[in-house]
Amino acid sequence: MRYSGLKVITEGLFGNKGWKPAWRDPAPKAEYDAVIIGGGGHGLSTAYYLAKNHGITNVAVLEKGYLGGGNVGRNTTIVRANYFLPGNSEFYSHSLKLWEGLEADLNYNVMHSQRGLINLFHSDGQRDAFARRGNAMINQGDDAILLDREGVREHLPYLDFEQTRFPIYGGLLHPRGGSARHDAVAWGYARGADRRGVDLIQNCEVTGIDIENGVVKGVQTTRGAIRAKKVGIVVAGRSSQVAAMAGMRLPIESHVLQAFVTEGLKPVIDHVVSFGMGHFYISQSDKGGLVFGGDLDFYASYAARGNLPMVEHVMEAGMTLMPMIGRAKVLRSWGGIMDMSPDGSPVIDKTHVEGLFLDCGWNYGGFKAVPASGWCMAHLMATGESHEVARKFRLDRFATGHLLDEEGTGSQHNLH
Amino acid sequence: MRLTCPLCGERDRREFYYYGAEDYLRRPGEGAPLADWDDYLHLRDNPAGVTKDLWYHEAGCAQWLLVTRNTVTHEISGVELVAGRKE
């Protein structure tokens, strides 16, 4: 069923009785050309682009819970392409272009809103670094505008510019940055993949990966064995456990990242604002809630909830930056489990097993990467070659020293 | 989260600096192949469950601690001094 304004009107006239489920609920078949482990944003987009770009439609997505029930439903929905390093820059630029055409492509409203992202800076040195980053973004073909203090004040008059600890010197505006509705992204890709023939199989946990003589043959699941010529592991948050089924030890440590949302308020924050020095960023959802977060709790965790010191730190940073939010009531907080890689960049690569592919290590930046990650993973699974914008996301780059350390803090698990 | 330092007693999480998995205690010897260094520095079991990792009592006794804890429940079942371990 194609969605349209006319469809909404006609359904409204006839009691909304004509709507159908957005995707089927098939039983797993005995064999597929390709199996994707993980029905989150990245897994669903991988399946979608396998079908759409490569004509591979005999595909199953295996999800142990429900579609979009993991990190794609537990993030702060920021979409941006403000990376500096070659390798990252072209990948996120590609992703942002896909975001811009996503709703028309999927025939699904993902509420993508390019409201502009402003990264604040607080010293002369930081201004230089941000000017350089902005130039890199422009060279990549994206947009960046360096704002001085008065320029920031025009956009964000409510900030405390005179705070003593981090007085605001200016900001880097990325007008095409913004946010989107996270659940809708998962649902849109799920519906798009299903319409092209992909089987989306929920409540189906993979318990083993069948490998014979170094070649993948299929997977064992809680709903029986499924043979497959190619298998993609796309389970960020649980990558180490699934990769261990194939005898792999990954360069990943799982950490918890907390986020918070307030009660719904009238429109007050029009942009995505990032306050790096305070480890704080914020935007306002279309529903009105202020959505904000900070840094990792900084210890390995799978608890999907954090500790109070980071809650306090995030609230303090928010009050330092914009005291006006002090009366807003926090409704909810939650924690997402991040695949943290030593250099803070992801992996989209082959493995030592023929036919087994790996997409993992999304750190705290997986949401904006959903379209390009699926695009590149599908390309890798279909052709056996890395896509040109993901060619540096190598699994062996830590051993070879070809790091993608965007922060420049070093290749160590506890530094990103 | 609170850790019970063997020297200082029960203390707030904020007094401690997290370093990483206990793999860091198994430093490769001189002349070890590069793969061993990759293993030591980057590759991790990263268990969902009981793990052992290294913490530094930064705002306390400045001792390195080997903490046994559960990554799913945040339950801490043991803290020992790295310096007190037998090789």
* CATH number of the structural domain spanning residue B21: 3.30.2270.10
Q: Is the Cβ of B68 closer than 8 Å to some Cβ of chain A?
A: no
Distance between CA A276 and CA A274 in Å, rounded? 6
Residue A34, φ and ψ in degrees, nearest 5: -145, 140
Say if the Cβ atoms of A414 and B20 lie within 8 Å. Answer: yes
CB neighbour class for A162 (10 Å; exposed up to 12, middle 13-18, buried from 19):
exposed
Query: What would the two tokens of residue A364 be?
Result: 């705290």
Residue of chain A nearest B70, judged by CA positions = A301
Q: Is the Cβ of B75 closer than 8 Å to some Cβ of chain A?
A: no
Sign, Cα dihedral of B2, B4, B7, B8: positive
Q: Which residues sit opposite A170 in a β-bridge?
A: A121, A148
* Count of helices and strands (H, E) across chain B: 1, 6
CB-CB neighbors (< 8 A) of A238 in chain B: 48
In 3-state terms, what secondary structure has residue A59? strand
> What per-residue confidence (pLDDT) applies to A322?
96
Say if the Cβ atoms of B34 and A399 lie within 8 Å. Answer: yes
- Angle, CA A331 vertex, CA A326 and CA A332 arms, to 5°: 120
Confidence check on the interface: ipTM exceeds 0.90, yes or no: yes
pLDDT single digits (tens) A19-63? 999 999 999 999 999 999 999 999 999 999 999 999 999 999 999
Mean predicted lDDT score pLDDT of chain A: 96
Do β-strands A78-79 and A178-179 pair in parallel, antiparallel, or remain unpaired?
Answer: antiparallel
Instruction: List b or e across A285-321, with b for residues whose CB sees 16 or more CB atoms inside 10 angstroms.
Output: beeebbbbbbbbbbbbbbbbebbeebbebbbebbbbb
pLDDT single digits (tens) A285-311? 999 999 999 999 999 999 988 999 999
Sign, Cα dihedral of A311, A317, A321, A324: positive
Say if the Cβ atoms of B73 and A300 lie within 8 Å. Answer: no
As for how many domains chain B has, the answer is 1
Query: What would the two tokens of residue A20 be?
Result: 């159908």
List helix spans (H) across A330-393: 370-383
CB-CB neighbors (< 8 A) of A299 in chain B: 1, 18, 53, 55
pLDDT single digits (tens) A99-148? 999 999 999 999 999 999 999 999 999 999 999 999 999 999 999 999 99
Residue of chain B nearest A256, judged by CA positions = B71
What is the mean pLDDT of the segment spanning B3-21?
Answer: 96
Please report how many Cα atoms fall inside a 13 Å half-sphere around the Cα of residue B20, on the Cβ side: 22
> Does the predicted TM-score (pTM) go above 0.80?
yes
What is the mean pLDDT of the segment spanning A368-382?
Answer: 98
- pLDDT band (50, 70, 90) for residue B87: low
Q: What domain range is B42 assigned to?
A: 2-84
Count of CB contacts below 8 A, A vs B? 74
> What per-residue confidence (pLDDT) applies to A395?
97
- pLDDT band (50, 70, 90) for residue A1: confident
More confident residue, B5 or B85: B5
Query: What would the two tokens of residue A270 be?
Result: 């029009």
In 3-state terms, what secondary structure has residue A120? strand
- pLDDT band (50, 70, 90) for residue B84: confident
Domains of chain A from N-terminus onward: 5-78+182-251+343-415 (3.50.50.60), 113-176+253-340 (3.30.9.10)
Among residues B44, B26, B41, the alpha carbon closest in space to that of A250 is found at B44
Q: Is the Cβ of A240 closer than 8 Å to some Cβ of chain B?
A: yes
pLDDT single digits (tens) A213-228? 999 999 999 999 999 9
Mean predicted lDDT score pLDDT of chain B: 95
Nearest chain A CA: its distance from B18 CA (Å): 6
